[in-house]
């Protein structure tokens, strides 16, 4: 099974998403912001990333931009898990390489479907 990086400043979302990742048979790794996410990405072979958009220190879209510029990470699928429904933000995410945009509150069924679809 694969490793899923969950990047969110909400400890509740990190906990619920980690539990769902484990339930789906994957190893969750969590970070509180984009900077920490990048640091963990360098330490682990990550297969899928779930990230919030708005976080302190480094937001999700800035983290995605950094990831996609690095050849060794640019093919990792990234899903934004956020309260942001702004079409302009979604379009920016898509342009950066975000594969899916899921709205909070956390939905375990949608999480499982996204993991199944994007983890090869």
CA 3 → CA 25, 50, 84, distances in Å? 9, 11, 25
Cβ neighbourhood burial of 85 (10 Å; 0-12, 13-18, 19+):
exposed
pTM reported for the whole predicted model:
0.94
List of domains in the chain = 3-118 (3.40.50.2300)
Give pLDDT tens digits along the chain (120 positions). Answer: 899 999 999 999 999 999 999 999 999 999 999 999 999 999 999 999 999 999 999 999 999 999 999 999 989 999 999 999 999 999 999 999 999 999 998 888 888 888 888 886
Instruction: Dig out the tokens for 18 from the structure.
Output: 């980690």
Q: What is the DSSP string of 82-93?
A: ES---HHHHHHH
């Amino acid at each position: 099974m694969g490793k899923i990086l969950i990047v969110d400043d909400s400890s509740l979302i990190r906990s619920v998403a980690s539990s769902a990742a484990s339930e789906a048979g994957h190893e969750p790794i969590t970070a509180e912001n984009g900077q920490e996410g990048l640091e963990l990405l360098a330490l682990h072979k990550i297969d899928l990333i779930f990230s919030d958009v708005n976080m302190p220190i480094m937001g999700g879209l800035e983290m995605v931009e950094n990831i996609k510029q690095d050849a060794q990470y640019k093919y990792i699928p990234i899903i934004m898990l956020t309260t942001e429904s702004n079409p302009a933000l979604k379009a920016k995410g898509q342009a950066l390489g975000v594969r899916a945009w899921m709205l909070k509150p956390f939905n375990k069924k949608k999480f499982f479907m996204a993991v199944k679809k994007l983890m090869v």
